[in-house]
Structure 1
Amino acid sequence: MYTATIGKRLIQALNERDGTDWTTRRFVAESFFACMFNTDRYLIHLNNSPFAQAYNQKGKKPLTDAILGKCGEDVHRKIEADERDASIYLGGASSGLLDSTSGQVTSLARAVPADDVYASWVGTALGITIEGGLTLLIDDPEVNLLLREGWDAYRELLDQTPNLKGNQVNTWNGHWLTHRFGKHTPGEQWTPPTIKEDTSMPAISWVKLMFALAYHFRDTRQKVINAYVYLFNKTNKTAGFVRLNLPDVRRMVELHDRLFTVPDGLQVVAFENLYETELSFTKAFQCGEIGLRAIEPKGMFAYYTNRILPKAKADDKPERVVFFRAQKLWIIAMLNDDTLYKHAENLAV
């Protein structure tokens, strides 16, 4: 499972950066468990794992240090006993032919090393959940080192916010990465994501995540990152691999900065924050890569089908100004010719 690959790469990156000698087992036992499961408010919920089973019984048995310690021991024992079902090898097959992920069960003998099992726990916590519920694993050491740093920030936020729902580290990863990699107004203070009525944290918009990645890697002109897209739930779903064409995405923001001034009432980052796409990530994924075509602005389809088109007005609110600008910019970027601004303006306005 690709979670194991990404987990191993994080541990390797930590060792190279810090001069440490973490093994996968020792990292999980001494660092990962201590971060994710050190109180009864977990950072992540892993279905049917020993930690999840103890959490589900916490109304009867409080999650004391002793019980949490035993959960960790149970994980080690199961791994050493070569148990490789989905509750231990995260992203793996179910233990029975009639269970929800039984499609991965095979009669072929395939040994899964203990290192891969431990690494799958780490990799699962590096997933970035976006609006719509899909999760991305990004194959880039800088991204994953930053996500590891974000786990500690999420633990701190959870400890300081009693009404915030736990078990959402993958959702948190999206907000953390967008905050740390995105463009900010000088002196701007970051505000953590708003808590919804059910005390959960909303997932980040996928296009905001793309803009943040594109901005951070703006000096690497050919930066194309591979991401693995999946969904872990009661049933596991795999979408597969997709290329994140960051130079393509970045072109939109570069054109905006070059061609437009910021409307009154909007911060510099408002364009990225207010940008909405026509396609959901599930549909954008089908484009083959996440680039200009995938981030088509919302409302463009109306131009293909209607004779009466919306018009920009002098007294439009700043948010609506962004709406029209996004459409103009996308046309210019797709045509790859900055001199066509006036032609694009006639089409979009």
Structure 2
Amino acid sequence: MIAVNIGKTFLKSFNEKYEKTYNAKEFFIEEYFPLFFDEEKYMQWVTNSPLVQGIKKGSPPSAVERRRKLDVLIDKISNTTADASIAIGFPSLDITATTSGQISSMKIPYKEEDVYLSWIGSGLGIGIQGGLSIFFDKPKLLLDIYDGWKVYRAYLNKTPKLRANQINTWNGQWLAHRYDKRVFDPEDPTAMFNGISVAKDGGLEVATQSWTMVLIGVARTFPDSQLTGYVYNLGQTNTTVGFIPFRLPHIKRPVDLYEKYFGTSDVIQVEKLFATAFGFLKACQFGSIGVNAMQPKGLQDFIEGKLPVFKEKDEEKKLNFQSYLIWTLAMLNNEQLWERAQQFAASLSVYALSSTKGKMDKTNQVKEVLSAISQKQFLDHLIPLVKDNAGESMHEIAQLIHMMPKDNVPYFLTLIRLHYAFITK
């Protein structure tokens, strides 16, 4: 029933922006139905609804049949109890159905207006990889999604091979494109849009966008906000993840840091590397979505003490390496530690090279320091270097680690390991 609230927020904002006075039913009949359902290709498929009942694959309903289906839907909304077939997100009234889990003996009050609002709201879900969608109850964002509806309709009408019924997937692609100021042109909204891909059957489909790319775009547009999103999936079975806080300034932080330290030339490729360590559902288990949920794939090994190797000539691995550096710095949330880690890594490199010819004693000592994963382990391994008068930086870094919050220690040690790999490449 969250779709009702989303529809209400949107309709109020729509009426204000376009100086309309639509109620939900009027908007559905005059705006939503013609755009979504009054064409051979639907933009949305609502299982068991009158709008899809009786439709056979390859035989789209005629204009007359579509209007007849609309009349049936309007009649059912007016004269029957609301269920999942006529109200989006409502439960099935059949207790054996896979969408019946929301059934309650309590009488939940609703109005006919709410049913139409649920349809409107359902078209504003943001589909992302993993089969989930997000509702954001933010007027400006919802109006930006609405701007993409007509673009999707135009794509469907002019592209015979393009798969229908992908509105939520489209919304995810559209927002990522709409909120990327590097490519979006208001005068030509589809310029440089690359959200269409080849499907397994040889046709075309809207590709599912990663949650990272969608949320980085949202964070760029609303940089000082924390949004609470409702994460869900509506289909043959319904999935409810629940309300998740999205900490947009934290989501934006790694991108800002990358641009500062490495420039903008590869930033789009690096954005795709964030949050690849696990899927979106797993990320939701953090309780909120911020920097910690954006960990790049492969970095965990280095957090656990593995020594990285930097290969500058391998462009893909170079970008991965840069994403590791930036994410680790973002987790520390202290840019001064970037230089401190660099300086210490350089001192370790000098110390390792000072070994007597043919001996590996100092190199091995450095490896022990670099492989430490805890405060105590690091300080213990640093003692031989301090005794050997390896430099003032050894004393300073020991003091810094000793005073550092324990949660930050693994990330700072990882930053040192990464800088050491870069320096000794």
Which residue matches 2:255?
253
Letter in 2 for 1:280: G
CA displacement, residues 220-241 of structure 1 (integer Å, 9 cap, x when unaligned): x3x1111101111111111100
Q: CA deviation at 1:170?
A: 0.4
CA radius of gyration, larger in = 2
Partners of 1:174 and 1:209 within 8 A in 2: yes
Partners of 1:177 and 1:209 within 8 A in 2: yes
Matched, 1:31 2:31: yes
Partners of 1:275 and 1:323 within 8 A in 2: no
Matched, 1:286 2:285: yes
TM-score relative to the length of structure 2: 0.76
Partners of 2:311 and 2:317 within 8 A in 1: no
Partners of 1:138 and 1:228 within 8 A in 2: yes
Report SS of the residue matched to 1:298: coil
Residues 186 and 204 of structure 1, relative CA distance in 2, 3 Å threshold:
closer
**Partner Cα distance (1:271, 1:43) in 2:** 32
Which residue matches 1:19?
19
Residues 33 and 347 of structure 1, relative CA distance in 2, 3 Å threshold:
same
Residues 57 and 51 of structure 1, relative CA distance in 2, 3 Å threshold:
farther
**Partner Cα distance (2:333, 2:108) in 1:** 49
Which residue matches 1:327?
324
Q: How does 1:55-134 map to 2 (within 5 A)?
A: 55-56=55-56, 59=59, 62-134=60-132
**Partner Cα distance (2:53, 2:338) in 1:** 59
TM-score relative to the length of structure 1: 0.92
Letter in 1 for 2:71: E
**Partner Cα distance (2:309, 2:181) in 1:** 30
**Partner Cα distance (2:114, 2:101) in 1:** 21
Matched, 1:195 2:186: no
Which residue matches 1:229?
231
CA displacement, residues 170-225 of structure 1 (integer Å, 9 cap, x when unaligned): 0000000000112415987333332323333221001111111111223xx3x111
Report SS of the residue matched to 1:49: coil
CA displacement, residues 22-56 of structure 1 (integer Å, 9 cap, x when unaligned): 10000001110000011121001000001111434
Which residue matches 2:140?
142
**Partner Cα distance (1:192, 1:85) in 2:** 34
Matched, 1:216 2:221: yes
Partners of 2:84 and 2:92 within 8 A in 1: yes
RMSD: 1.9
- Bigger Cα displacement from structure 2, 274-283 vs 292-301: 274-283
Residues 71 and 186 of structure 1, relative CA distance in 2, 3 Å threshold:
closer
**Partner Cα distance (1:205, 1:116) in 2:** 31
**Partner Cα distance (2:91, 2:275) in 1:** 37
Unmatched segments (≥5 aa) in structure 2: 186-190, 342-411
Partners of 2:277 and 2:297 within 8 A in 1: yes
Unmatched segments (≥5 aa) in structure 1: none
Q: CA deviation at 1:274?
A: 4.4
Larger relative contact order (Cα-Cα within 8 Å, sequence gap ≥ 6): 1
Letter in 2 for 1:302: D
Return structure 1 stretches of 4+ with deviation > 3 angstroms. Answer: 56-59, 185-188, 273-276, 304-307
**Partner Cα distance (1:185, 1:257) in 2:** 17
**Partner Cα distance (2:123, 2:180) in 1:** 21
Report SS of the residue matched to 1:55: coil
- Bigger Cα displacement from structure 2, 279-288 vs 192-201: 192-201
**Partner Cα distance (1:304, 1:275) in 2:** 16
Matched, 1:205 2:197: no
Q: CA deviation at 1:253?
A: 1.1
Q: Percent identity?
A: 33
Residues 283 and 57 of structure 1, relative CA distance in 2, 3 Å threshold:
closer
CA displacement, residues 235-270 of structure 1 (integer Å, 9 cap, x when unaligned): 1111100111100111111111111135xxx55533
Q: How does 1:238-317 map to 2 (within 5 A)?
A: 238-262=240-264, 266-305=265-304, 307=306, 309-317=307-315
Partners of 1:185 and 1:267 within 8 A in 2: no
Report SS of the residue matched to 1:229: strand
Report SS of the residue matched to 2:196: coil
- How many residues are aligned here? 339
